[in-house]
């Protein structure tokens, strides 16, 4: 977004503005630069839900902002909480689209729980993975930066109510991590996602450390290479799910464009340039990719790379073809990887009783409650 020259017809909520853009907007309104700092403080630390809450701004300015600008971009449409305290929220966007995000809590042996927000970056997804509820719904549009940031702020407000923090406390102490692993392919919406990361990381914004932010991708090679050169050291998680092209073409169709012969070298380059350890997400499906032979093939594919493998038992999406393996098969797969020198863990399933898997809550919302606005299925390259 360019530096604001006119306040009229602002398409983005203020949560999508960089620090320079917000200051430019306030200057256009005839306000001194420090007003932008006050507004940011209210948005990211006061977690204000309305301009009226910004009590240290002049009343005339609050009234003008309320009339001519949008503070936030999401409406909470439906929210459910699971037995393990996972919260799944469906949001309505301007125009009627629906997107969802999750908040997961992880108990520790000592100290406060760790909270992770799983954030969406697109309405639907164009990758088309057959086991993914979002992929089965198709692609509608990219989210704006403000729509991405607002998901995080929603969960920060939820945590404030739970933890009882006062409005001057840094929100990052409650929200430990943000993962861009919800609906959509984050790297297909690169510019909006990266701007959101800069806002969420900035000391003048949400103030969460870059190493507490992780971007997931199905394997868009050019964007992985671009990410490697960014200054902020965010994490990279690659949805792999197979160690040979024939099977991965089926499970992750973007593999036909960026096969393993291109993807794995790009991940090695990311690790070398950024100095960070990529992780590989491997969803285990019974009788499809869960054999010990496939574990050995995966270990060979990743040999010599400093990385981590997250093994994820499949979520039910209504397709009986993609079922989780029995527990003993999952454990055997993990042990075989470790025996061959690959760092691997089995991810704890979260929110299964509330369909917390990507796209599952949105799929349950009756069609009459949603307005679909399909756009060209651009991959954002």
Give the residue numbers marked as catalytic: 100, 358
375: left (phi over 0), alpha (psi -120 to 50) or beta: beta
Rounded CA-CA distance 339/353 in Å is 34
Rounded CA-CA distance 92/364 in Å is 14
Question: Reduced to 3 states, what is the DSSP secondary structure of residue 108?
Answer: coil
Using the 8-state DSSP alphabet, how is residue 318 labeled? S
Question: Within 10 Å of residue 349's Cβ, how many Cβ atoms?
Answer: 15
98-106 and 114-118 as β-strands: parallel, antiparallel, unpaired?
antiparallel
103: left (phi over 0), alpha (psi -120 to 50) or beta: beta
Nearest to 219 by CA among 277, 260, 279, 164: 260
């Amino acid at each position: 977004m360019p530096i604001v020259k006119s306040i009229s017809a602002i398409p983005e909520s203020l949560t999508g503005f960089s620090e320079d853009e917000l200051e430019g907007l306030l200057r256009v309104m005839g306000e001194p630069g420090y007003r932008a700092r006050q507004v940011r403080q209210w948005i990211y630390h006061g977690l204000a839900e309305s301009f009226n809450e910004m009590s240290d701004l002049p009343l005339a300015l609050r009234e003008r902002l309320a009339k001519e600008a949008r503070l936030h971009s999401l409406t909470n449409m439906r929210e459910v909480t699971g037995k393990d305290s996972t919260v799944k929220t469906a949001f309505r966007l301007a125009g009627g689209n629906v997107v969802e995000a999750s908040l997961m809590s992880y108990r520790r042996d000592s100290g406060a729980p760790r909270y992770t927000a799983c954030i969406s970056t697109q309405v639907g997804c164009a990758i088309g993975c057959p086991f993914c509820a979002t992929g089965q719904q198709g692609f509608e549009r990219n989210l704006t930066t403000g729509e991405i940031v607002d998901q995080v702020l929603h969960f920060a407000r939820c945590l404030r109510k739970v933890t009882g923090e006062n409005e001057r406390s840094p929100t990052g102490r409650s929200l430990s991590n943000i993962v861009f692993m919800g609906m959509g392919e984050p790297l297909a919406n690169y510019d909006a996602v990266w701007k959101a990361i800069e806002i969420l990381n900035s000391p003048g914004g949400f103030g969460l450390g870059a190493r507490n932010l992780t971007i997931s991708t199905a394997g868009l090679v050019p964007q992985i290479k671009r990410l490697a050169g960014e200054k902020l050291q965010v994490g990279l998680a690659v949805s792999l799910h197979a160690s040979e092209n024939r099977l991965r073409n089926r499970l992750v169709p973007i593999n036909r464009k960026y096969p393993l012969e291109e993807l794995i070298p790009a991940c090695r380059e990311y690790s070398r340039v950024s100095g960070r350890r990529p992780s590989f997400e491997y969803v285990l499906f019974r009788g499809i990719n869960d054999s010990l032979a496939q574990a050995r093939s995966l270990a060979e594919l990743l040999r010599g790379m400093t990385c981590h493998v997250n093994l994820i038992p499949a979520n039910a999406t209504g397709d009986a073809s993609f079922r989780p393996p029995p527990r003993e098969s999952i454990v055997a797969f993990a042990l075989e990887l470790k025996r061959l020198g690959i760092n691997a863990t089995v991810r704890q399933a979260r929110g299964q009783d509330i369909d917390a898997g990507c796209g599952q809550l949105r799929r349950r919302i009756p069609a009459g409650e949603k307005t679909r606005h399909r756009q060209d299925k651009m991959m954002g390259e």
